[in-house]
Amino acid sequence: MNFVTLQFKTTNDFNWNLDYAETLIAKAPLNSFILAPELALNAYAYNRMDDAVAITAKAIDVFKKLSYNKTIAITMTTKQESQFFNTLHIFYKGKIVHTQSKIQLFVLNDEKAHFTQGNLEDMKVIDLDGFKVGALICFELRFISYWQQLQGADLIIVPAMWGKQRKDNYETLTKALAVANQCYVLASCSSNDDMARGSGIITPFGEEYRDDKKELISRLVDLQEITKMRKYLDVGIK
């Protein structure tokens, strides 16, 4: 399977961000699993929340069409009644097959003041025709109990807008997650000036493929590596 992580800047022009994401996705090989940075279309636009919801509605139609031969995962701003959520969407075979809203909202950027936290039961391993996927959204990566909740996943995705002063934390934790859960990890962080970058693909053995200079990082991976790790270094993960 081919894994692709995107690492690009989010501008104040939401439509431009969507068009650019579409351009990068078009460059990815067919049948790739593609992850975009957290809130890549609008960032934390607290003064433009309704605009952010509007670009989400437009993006859903775009990503459904793009996902007929590629799987796409991206977090976007959603709204239910008067509440806003930071919601991961996974697009597969032209449909939205999974959504989960961020549970652990980040305190330092006032996310708790503008978003409502999601439900823990939505954080689960999903099955895409035998390929098992779990997700942690940014700050959730720091909570080990969530790692345990996603044990058994073949791939855990980690979209983020992670501050550059904590870059080493992001890279260390995503590598540790791959080793601890004996799975692949796909990490995607914004490349805005105040963000960490550090996006990459990490194997179950802990090999890292990162490149802070690239907007699209792609690698063909062998999913048998998951079985090998779990068989020969058996820690009870099935």
Q: What pLDDT, in 10s, does the model give residues 59-70?
A: 999 999 999 999
- Residues 130, 165: Cα–Cα separation, whole Å: 38
Q: According to the model, what pLDDT value does residue 234 have?
A: 96
Q: Which of 142, 129, 122 is nearest to 75 (CA)?
A: 122
Domain assignments of the chain as residue spans, ordered by start: 2-232
Q: Which two tokens stand for residue 217?
A: 């990082």
Whether residue 152 contacts residue 116, with contact meaning beta carbons closer than 8 Å, is answered with no
Q: Could you tell me the maximum CA-CA distance found in the chain, to the nearest angstrom?
A: 52
Q: Report CA Rg, the chain.
A: 16
Whether residue 75 contacts residue 102, with contact meaning beta carbons closer than 8 Å, is answered with yes
- Residues 68, 31: Cα–Cα separation, whole Å: 9
Q: Which of 114, 159, 161 is nearest to 135 (CA)?
A: 159
For domain 2-232, give the fold: Nitrilase/N-carbamoyl-D-aminoacid amidohydrolase (3.60.110)
Q: According to the model, what pLDDT value does residue 80 have?
A: 97
For the full predicted model, state whether its pTM sits above 0.85: yes
Q: According to the model, what pLDDT value does residue 233 have?
A: 94
Whether residue 111 contacts residue 137, with contact meaning beta carbons closer than 8 Å, is answered with no
In angstroms, what CA-CA distances link 72 with 22, 63, 109, 146? 11, 7, 27, 22
Q: According to the model, what pLDDT value does residue 107 have?
A: 86
In angstroms, what CA-CA distances link 60 with 91, 162, 178? 9, 24, 29
For 155, what's the count of Cα atoms within 13 Å in the CB-facing half-sphere? 29
In angstroms, what CA-CA distances link 5 with 14, 165, 195, 214? 20, 21, 16, 10
Q: Which residue positions in the chain have pLDDT lower than 70?
A: none
Backbone angles phi, psi at 42, to 5 degrees: -150, -5
Q: According to the model, what pLDDT value does residue 111 have?
A: 95
Q: Which two tokens stand for residue 15?
A: 């439509």
**pLDDT tens per residue, range 121-161:** 999 999 999 999 999 999 999 999 999 999 999 999 999 99
3-state secondary structure of 110: coil
